[in-house]
Amino acid sequence: MMTVLLRNADEKSISRLSGSLGKKGLKIVGMEKMGKTHALIETGAISIATQPQDVELAAEPKCSKQFRLASREMSLGDTVVKLNGGVEVGGRQLALIAGPCSVESEEQLLQTAIEVQKAGAQILRGSVFKPRTSPYDFQGLGVEGLSILESIREETGMLIETEVMEPSHVKLVEPFVDMLRIGSRNMQNFELLREAGRSEKPVILKRGLSATVNEFLLAAEYILSEGNPNVILCERGIRTFMTETRNTLDLNCVPLIKALSHLPVIVDPSHGTGKADLVLPMSKAGIAVGADGLMIEVHPNPKAALSDNAQQLTPSQFADLVKKCVPVANAVGRTMRSE
Amino acid sequence: MMTVLLRNADEKSISRLSGSLGKKGLKIVGMEKMGKTHALIETGAISIATQPQDVELAAEPKCSKQFRLASREMSLGDTVVKLNGGVEVGGRQLALIAGPCSVESEEQLLQTAIEVQKAGAQILRGSVFKPRTSPYDFQGLGVEGLSILESIREETGMLIETEVMEPSHVKLVEPFVDMLRIGSRNMQNFELLREAGRSEKPVILKRGLSATVNEFLLAAEYILSEGNPNVILCERGIRTFMTETRNTLDLNCVPLIKALSHLPVIVDPSHGTGKADLVLPMSKAGIAVGADGLMIEVHPNPKAALSDNAQQLTPSQFADLVKKCVPVANAVGRTMRSE
Amino acid sequence: MMTVLLRNADEKSISRLSGSLGKKGLKIVGMEKMGKTHALIETGAISIATQPQDVELAAEPKCSKQFRLASREMSLGDTVVKLNGGVEVGGRQLALIAGPCSVESEEQLLQTAIEVQKAGAQILRGSVFKPRTSPYDFQGLGVEGLSILESIREETGMLIETEVMEPSHVKLVEPFVDMLRIGSRNMQNFELLREAGRSEKPVILKRGLSATVNEFLLAAEYILSEGNPNVILCERGIRTFMTETRNTLDLNCVPLIKALSHLPVIVDPSHGTGKADLVLPMSKAGIAVGADGLMIEVHPNPKAALSDNAQQLTPSQFADLVKKCVPVANAVGRTMRSE
Amino acid sequence: MMTVLLRNADEKSISRLSGSLGKKGLKIVGMEKMGKTHALIETGAISIATQPQDVELAAEPKCSKQFRLASREMSLGDTVVKLNGGVEVGGRQLALIAGPCSVESEEQLLQTAIEVQKAGAQILRGSVFKPRTSPYDFQGLGVEGLSILESIREETGMLIETEVMEPSHVKLVEPFVDMLRIGSRNMQNFELLREAGRSEKPVILKRGLSATVNEFLLAAEYILSEGNPNVILCERGIRTFMTETRNTLDLNCVPLIKALSHLPVIVDPSHGTGKADLVLPMSKAGIAVGADGLMIEVHPNPKAALSDNAQQLTPSQFADLVKKCVPVANAVGRTMRSE
The residue-averaged pLDDT of D276-289 equals 98
d(CA A222, CA A231): 10
| pLDDT tens per residue, range A218-274 | 999 999 999 999 999 999 999 999 999 999 999 999 999 999 999 999 999 999 999
For residue B65, what pLDDT is reported? 52
CB distance from C225 to chain D under 8 Å?
yes
Nearest-CA distance from D243 to chain B in Å? Answer: 8
Residues C104 and C223 in one domain: yes
What band does D307 get if pLDDT is binned at 50, 70 and 90? Answer: confident
φ and ψ at B2, to 5 degrees?
-125, 150
CB distance from B172 to chain A under 8 Å?
no
Residue ranges making up the domain that contains D230? 81-331
Residue B298 confidence (pLDDT) above 80: yes
Contact predicate A52/A6, CB 8 Å = yes
Residues B172 and B53 in one domain: no
pLDDT higher for C63 or B296? B296
CA-closest candidate to residue A282, choices A237, A327, A220? A237
d(CA D71, CA C318): 41
The sign one gets for the Cα dihedral D328, D329, D333, D338 is negative
The tally of CA atoms less than 13 A away on the side-chain side of residue C70 is: 29
Which subunits have 3 or more CB–CB pairs within 8 Å of chain B? A, C, D
For residue C44, what pLDDT is reported? 35
Give the percent of chain D with pLDDT over 90.
Answer: 73
Q: Left if phi > 0, otherwise alpha if psi is -120 to 50, otherwise beta: which for A301?
A: beta
CA-closest candidate to residue D161, choices D149, D169, D151? D149
Contact B34 A135 (CB under 8 A): yes
Residue D252 confidence (pLDDT) above 50: yes
Termini Cα distance of chain A? 50
Contact predicate B221/B250, CB 8 Å = no
- Return all residues near B153 (Cβ < 8 A) that are at least 6 apart: B124, B159, B160, B176, B177, B178
pLDDT higher for A123 or C3? A123
Which subunits have 3 or more CB–CB pairs within 8 Å of chain C? A, B, D
Residue of C nearest to A247 (CA): C241
Residues B40 and B116 in one domain: no
The residue-averaged pLDDT of A81-107 equals 96
For residue D59, what pLDDT is reported? 27
Residues D130 and D40 in one domain: no
For residue B54, what pLDDT is reported? 39
Residues B19 and B109 in one domain: no
Domain count, chain A: 2
What band does A4 get if pLDDT is binned at 50, 70 and 90? Answer: low
Contact predicate C209/C216, CB 8 Å = no
Contact predicate B6/B49, CB 8 Å = yes
| pLDDT tens per residue, range D104-156 | 999 999 999 999 999 999 999 999 999 999 998 888 999 999 999 999 999 99
The residue-averaged pLDDT of D156-185 equals 97
d(CA B274, CA C303): 40
- Does residue A273 sit in helix, strand or coil? helix
Interface test with C, best of D71, D130, D133, D216 (most C CBs within 10 A): D133
Out of A292-296, B50-54, B173-177, which region has the weakest mean confidence (pLDDT)? B50-54
Out of A14-18, A95-99, D306-310, which region has the weakest mean confidence (pLDDT)? A14-18
Contact A240 C243 (CB under 8 A): no
Cβ-based burial of D198 (10 A; exposed 0-12, middle 13-18, buried ≥19): middle
DSSP string across C217-263: HHHHHHHHTTT---EEEEE--B--S--SSSSB--TTHHHHHHHHB-S
CB distance from A290 to chain D under 8 Å?
yes
CB pairs below 8 Å between B and D: how many? Answer: 8
For residue C60, what pLDDT is reported? 30
What band does A62 get if pLDDT is binned at 50, 70 and 90? Answer: very low
What band does D66 get if pLDDT is binned at 50, 70 and 90? Answer: confident
Give the percent of chain C with pLDDT over 70.
Answer: 81
Residue B34 confidence (pLDDT) above 70: no
| pLDDT tens per residue, range C8-35 | 556 666 676 667 666 665 555 555 555 5
| DSSP-assigned beta bridge partners for residue D3 | D41, D46
d(CA B240, CA B242): 5
Distances (CA, A) of B263 to B57, B251, C176, D207: 20, 16, 50, 41
- Return all residues near D60 (Cβ < 8 A) that are at least 6 apart: none
Termini Cα distance of chain C? 50
Residue of A nearest to C240 (CA): A241
Residue D101 confidence (pLDDT) above 50: yes
Is B106 among the domain residues? yes
Give the percent of chain A with pLDDT over 70.
Answer: 81
CB distance from D135 to chain C under 8 Å?
yes
Residues C45 and C139 in one domain: no
For residue D44, what pLDDT is reported? 35
How far is CA B235 from its chain centroid?
9
Q: What is the mean pLDDT of chain A?
A: 87
Is B338 among the domain residues? no
For residue B64, what pLDDT is reported? 47
Is D76 among the domain residues? no
Contact C259 B282 (CB under 8 A): no
Is A297 among the domain residues? yes
Name the range with the highest mean pLDDT among B36-50, C47-61, D271-285.
D271-285
Residues C162 and C297 in one domain: yes
**Biggest CA-to-CA distance, chain D:** 68
Contact B189 A190 (CB under 8 A): no
Chain B residues near residue A133 by CB distance under 8 angstroms: 188, 214-215, 218
Nearest-Å Rg of the Cα atoms of chain A is 20
Query: If you ran DSSP here, which 8-state letter would residue D88 be given?
Result: E
Residue B128 confidence (pLDDT) above 50: yes
Report how many helices (DSSP H) and strands (DSSP E) chain A contains, helices first. Answer: 10, 14
Residue C42 confidence (pLDDT) above 50: no
Is D269 among the domain residues? yes
Q: What is the mean pLDDT of chain D?
A: 87
CB distance from B241 to chain D under 8 Å?
yes
Out of B241-250, B270-279, C15-24, C250-259, which region has the weakest mean confidence (pLDDT)? C15-24
Is A69 among the domain residues? no
Contact D289 A277 (CB under 8 A): no
pLDDT higher for B24 or B143? B143
The residue-averaged pLDDT of A285-306 equals 96
d(CA D96, CA B127): 56
For residue A63, what pLDDT is reported? 43
Contact D131 C210 (CB under 8 A): no
Q: What is the mean pLDDT of chain B?
A: 87
Residues C226 and C138 in one domain: yes
pTM of the model: 0.88
What band does C181 get if pLDDT is binned at 50, 70 and 90? Answer: very high
Contact D238 A240 (CB under 8 A): yes
Cβ-based burial of B303 (10 A; exposed 0-12, middle 13-18, buried ≥19): exposed
d(CA A9, CA A15): 10
Is D337 among the domain residues? no
Chain B residues near residue A196 by CB distance under 8 angstroms: none
φ and ψ at A49, to 5 degrees?
-120, 125
Distances (CA, A) of A142 to A90, A126, A130, A147, A307: 31, 11, 8, 10, 15
Is C68 among the domain residues? no
Residue C134 confidence (pLDDT) above 50: yes
Select the residue of B244, B275, B285 nearest C288 (Cβ to Cβ).
Answer: B285
What band does D193 get if pLDDT is binned at 50, 70 and 90? Answer: very high
pLDDT higher for C314 or A72? C314
Out of B29-38, C48-57, D77-86, which region has the weakest mean confidence (pLDDT)? C48-57
Residue A74 confidence (pLDDT) above 90: no
Give the percent of chain D with pLDDT over 70.
Answer: 81
The residue-averaged pLDDT of D280-295 equals 98
Alpha helices, H only, chain A: 11-23, 106-119, 143-156, 167-173, 190-197, 213-224, 253-260, 269-273, 276-289, 315-331
Q: Left if phi > 0, otherwise alpha if psi is -120 to 50, otherwise beta: which for B85?
A: left
Distances (CA, A) of B251 to B282, B289, C250, C273, C276: 9, 7, 8, 10, 15
CA-closest candidate to residue C220, choices C61, C6, C66? C66
d(CA A249, CA D314): 28
| pLDDT tens per residue, range B225-240 | 999 999 999 999 999 9
What band does D42 get if pLDDT is binned at 50, 70 and 90? Answer: very low
Residues A258 and A320 in one domain: yes
Residue B7 confidence (pLDDT) above 60: no
The residue-averaged pLDDT of A19-35 equals 60
What band does C66 get if pLDDT is binned at 50, 70 and 90? Answer: confident
The residue-averaged pLDDT of A24-39 equals 57
Residues C151 and C46 in one domain: no
Distances (CA, A) of C80 to A100, C9, C256: 63, 21, 18
CATH number at residue A225: 3.20.20.70
Residues D282 and D314 in one domain: yes
Contact D191 C165 (CB under 8 A): yes
Chain C residues near residue D221 by CB distance under 8 angstroms: 134-136
Q: What is the mean pLDDT of chain C?
A: 87
The residue-averaged pLDDT of C42-69 equals 44
Contact A281 D255 (CB under 8 A): yes
For residue B125, what pLDDT is reported? 97
Out of A150-164, B53-67, C146-160, which region has the weakest mean confidence (pLDDT)? B53-67
The residue-averaged pLDDT of C151-173 equals 96
Write the secondary structure of B80-110 as one string of H (helix), E (strand) and C (coil).
CEECHHHCEECCCECEEEEECCECCCHHHHH
Residues C186 and C155 in one domain: yes
d(CA D316, CA D301): 11
CATH number at residue D17: 3.30.70
